[in-house]
Structure 1
Amino acid sequence: MTDDSLSTPTDEVGDALATSTSEASLARTEQRSHEIEAQIAADPSKFRVMTGDRPTGSLHVGHYFGSLMNRVRLQNAGVDTFVLIADYQVITDRDGTGPIAERVRGLVTDYLAVGIDPGKSTIYTHSAVPALNQLMLPFLSLVSDSELYRNPTVKAEHEATGGRPMSGLLLTYPVHQAADILFCKANLVPVGKDQLPHLEQTRVIARRFDERYGRANPDAPVFPQAEALLSSGSLILGLDGAKMSKSRGNTIELRMTADETAKLLKRAVTDSDRHITFDPVNRPEVSNLLTLAGLATGRDPRAIAEEIGDGGGGGLKRYLTEVLNEMLAPIRARRAELAADPGYLADVLAAGNAKANAVADATLREVRDAMGMAY
């Protein structure tokens, strides 16, 4: 690839990002996800998963049903799983880190409480893995500013800030995410449909790096082309009917008590129709609570609606409170035990950071070798 290579691939990545969520592309990705699940069942050793969270608040039931359960499933199936606590990404759109140490410890506690096993999964933080972040330098040379400005992830994150000036870290957010995935050579990333453009940016960066620096051995690329494992979970709204969000205070946090959960659910939004039905289009708030009840029990939300019948919103909330607290009880008990042993939590994170550093250092050495920069 020539020195002016960034003048033409702009169209390449633009087209890739634009089509990554087209109807045909989504159908292909969904089909590939089914194939990957079959391959995991046959031989999980072929895969390494990378996933994680920003420590901006406590994890809630949306996280549990949307991603945490799937992480536990994958690790227990034998997939090598890397779980990132993205502490550096907290400041992409914020003026400070807040009570970040407390939140990082909280994430570790939540992870272990829901069943993430430090003997099977690697839990680590951005700030403790220098080589991961150093990969941003060569990766930034592989993208243009126009590509970054057009990236849907950047646009969405910037809009969420209310139009404040975009920081350089926010602009390069997709490149940092690419480093998150590529440092450990993950070839599988669990994502929702809205996150496919971010994964496509990672694939473009991996491909460009190997085109520019990896031609000495084209059959052994430095980086894999990470694939998406699409989430099959239902979209869960907050208790107010809006998007579930830590900042809106409309969530049931994993760390909450049964009484706190009951009080919040009493205030959950329903509607004036006393007869309970599952109708996500016309009754989104009621259907959302039914979805939560279905996830907590493994039952069809329609069957739950028929059972509650004319019990109204009050009956639905009482049912949801009972089944959700019952489901969360062992997680909360385990969480309390873990929170009482901060030394163990620190040891888990230290061990995960050590493993992540070993992997990142090896990848960085390989990158420097490919670039002719191993002196």
Structure 2
Amino acid sequence: MSIDSYEASLKRSDEIRADLPVHPEKYTMLTGDRPTGRLHLGHYFGTIRERVALQDMGVATRVIIADYQVITDRDSTGNIADNVHNMIIDYLACGIDPQKTIIFAHSATPASNQLMLPFLSLVTEAELLRNPTVKTEMDASGHALTGLLLTYPVHQACDILFCKGNIVPVGKDQMPHIEQTRQIARRFNERYGHVFPEPDGLLSDAPAIPGLDGRKMSKSYGNAISLSATADETTKLIKKSQTDAERTITFDPEGRPGVSALLTTAALCTGRTEAAIAAEIGEGGSGTLKKYVTESVNAYLEPIRARRTELAADRGYIASVLAEGNRRANEIAEATLDEVRATMGMVY
């Protein structure tokens, strides 16, 4: 993505952010997660907290559990049902309201997936191969480039456009997906007739969330604090996190990644700055720092954990949330597919 293109996207994102509180009814947001494991603090501060804010603002919100996208780079769907179940519990515990937000599964909305066929006719092989996000994900997985991974951005376009989504919260690295979705919508509208909006990326202003070792917080790195972790489990995780031998605590992400990651975690949970926390701890060393971080995280997560415990006790309710979300998503998807067929002259 060129600098000029990014600057234009950022300007548009800023304009939307300014308009959202004034005209929330103009916007439909689509976002979601792949159920590859438990959600963690990185997910919460990176995306979930903003979803709740947009939902409560009055934006039409749709959250997709992208189960089909798990197999873009995984050989197994082991534990997927448990991951989906716990993902819904996490969403609800964090404040996503199923009365306001449609929570649904990729595999349960066949009409949205059927949009893949006309959409694939609107992109070239070269355009798919140029998408930098696909290449990054292929390299990370160590797998050969499958047809599903190559067409991942088209599948995402189906997810966004089936519900006429016009805003998608993203980081800078995901903007190529939004550009490809915009291109697909534009080409469909030009070729057959206007059906789809050209969605905008709502660029995230959330800070990068480091894991306990200073790298990006990730399930696969084992450096994440899961939202489902108990207070004791969180204490043990933080206790064994890597720091260094220097006693004075300072914020230096390049030189002291472990110490700095802990400071950022505490800052997010307390609303303070890393520098202020470091100055307070001073020469207290990593032991004092870890104690402060543990108390901060556990205090922040306490109400979420309490709600989680309540929700986990009612499996029937969690199943009903997904069933109702799937029903509502299917209604929207089928109406959109009918509109697509009619616009293409395929009603017989």
Scaled by the length of structure 1, the TM-score of the pair is 0.91
1-structure distance, mates of 2:190, 2:245: 60
* 2:114 paired residue number: 134
How far the C-alpha of 1:279 sits from its partner, in A, is: 2.4
1:203-352 superposed matches below 5 A: 203-214=182-193, 221-352=194-325
Offset from partner CA, 1:211-242 (integer Å, 9 cap, x none): 1111xxxxxx2110101111111111211222
Is 1:27 matched with 2:7? Answer: yes
Is 1:147 matched with 2:127? Answer: yes
Contact 2:225/2:234, CA 8 A, preserved across alignment: yes
How far the C-alpha of 1:280 sits from its partner, in A, is: 2.5
How far the C-alpha of 1:301 sits from its partner, in A, is: 1.5
Of residues 97, 103, 112, the one that matches 2:92 is 112
How far the C-alpha of 1:289 sits from its partner, in A, is: 1.3
* 1:371 paired residue number: 344
Of residues 162, 166, 173, the one that matches 1:194 is 173
Offset from partner CA, 1:133-181 (integer Å, 9 cap, x none): 000000001111121112112101110112x222111111010011010
Is 1:83 matched with 2:63? Answer: yes
Is 1:121 matched with 2:121? Answer: no
How far the C-alpha of 1:31 sits from its partner, in A, is: 2.6
Partner SS state of residue 21, structure 2:
helix
Letter in structure 2 aligned against 1:207: R
How far the C-alpha of 1:202 sits from its partner, in A, is: 0.5
Letter in structure 2 aligned against 1:182: L
1:26–1:273 distance in 2 versus 1, CA, 3 Å: farther
**What are the ranges of 5 or more consecutive residues in structure 1 without an aligned counterpart?**
1-17, 215-220
Is 1:60 matched with 2:40? Answer: yes
* 1:218 paired residue number: none
Letter in structure 2 aligned against 1:149: L
How far the C-alpha of 1:370 sits from its partner, in A, is: 1.1
How far the C-alpha of 1:94 sits from its partner, in A, is: 1.4
Partner SS state of residue 205, structure 2:
coil
Partner SS state of residue 204, structure 1:
helix
Segment of structure 1 superposing worse, 33-42 or 78-87: 33-42
Of residues 170, 175, 187, the one that matches 2:154 is 175
Offset from partner CA, 1:30-69 (integer Å, 9 cap, x none): 2322221121111100000000000000000000000010
2-structure distance, mates of 1:340, 1:290: 34
1-structure distance, mates of 2:37, 2:272: 30
Letter in structure 2 aligned against 1:197: P
Q: CA RMSD in A?
A: 1.1
Partner SS state of residue 57, structure 1:
coil
1-structure distance, mates of 2:24, 2:335: 23
Contact 2:132/2:176, CA 8 A, preserved across alignment: yes
Letter in structure 1 aligned against 2:295: E
1-structure distance, mates of 2:118, 2:260: 47
How far the C-alpha of 1:29 sits from its partner, in A, is: 2.5
Offset from partner CA, 1:334-370 (integer Å, 9 cap, x none): 1111111000001111111111001001110111111
2-structure distance, mates of 1:38, 1:242: 32
1-structure distance, mates of 2:258, 2:208: 12
* 2:330 paired residue number: 357
Segment of structure 1 superposing worse, 350-359 or 277-286: 277-286
2-structure distance, mates of 1:368, 1:105: 34
Among all aligned residue pairs of Structure 1 and Structure 2, give the percentage whose two residues are the same amino acid: 63
How far the C-alpha of 1:300 sits from its partner, in A, is: 1.5
Segment of structure 1 superposing worse, 327-336 or 270-279: 270-279
1-structure distance, mates of 2:163, 2:309: 32
* 1:5 paired residue number: none
Segment of structure 1 superposing worse, 187-196 or 25-34: 25-34
Partner SS state of residue 168, structure 2:
strand
* 2:49 paired residue number: 69
Scaled by the length of structure 2, the TM-score of the pair is 0.98
